[in-house]
Structure 1
Amino acid sequence: MVEYVAVFFTHSGAIKYDKFLNGENIHSELMPVPRKLSSNCGIGVKFSYEGDVSTLLCDDIEKLFKSTLPKEYSLVYENDQ
């Protein structure tokens, strides 16, 4: 499983996305966004997923990062909104 951290434009977007993932039977948890990733709202969603993560993207996501080494992240997606 690959671990991801999604950061959002708004708190409500993060909460909505967490509920969406849980509805898809994907374990997720709300978390403070690590400082190095920064975010407009400060709340992120951490989740693990094995498939094509592009199927889980939505307009509420500001950026999506893949967790690499402990506490290291690589940018997977950035919303140009």
Structure 2
Amino acid sequence: MKEYMVLFFTHSGAIKFNRFAKREGFSCELMPVPRQLSSNCGVGAKITYEGPCEELADEEIEKIYLAATDGYHLVFASDS
């Protein structure tokens, strides 16, 4: 399992994603976005997910970063 930080355009997007994660059965913790990543809304989701994270992306998600020992690595960015 890999750990990711998911950034959202809005607070409501983060809350909807948290509900989705619970339904789908993967770990999701809403938290402030780490300062070095920035965000439009300031709320992110730390998730543990096994599949390709790109399949989680929807119109509410701004960016997805892989959390690694040497920092965060961008793996998805919205076209918007």
| TM-score computed with the length of structure 1 as normaliser | 0.94
Task: Give the 4+ runs in structure 1 shifted more than 2 A.
Answer: none
> 1:68: Cα distance to partner?
0.7
Query: Which 5+ residue runs of structure 1 have no aligned equivalent?
Result: none
Match of 2:3, SS state, is strand
CA distance in 1, matches of 2:31, 2:41: 11
The answer to which structure has the higher strand fraction is 2
CA distance in 2, matches of 1:51, 1:9: 23
CA RMSD of aligned residues (A): 1.0
CA distance in 2, matches of 1:76, 1:52: 10
| TM-score computed with the length of structure 2 as normaliser | 0.95
Matched residues, number? 80
- Give identity over the alignment, percent: 50
Query: Which 5+ residue runs of structure 2 have no aligned equivalent?
Result: none
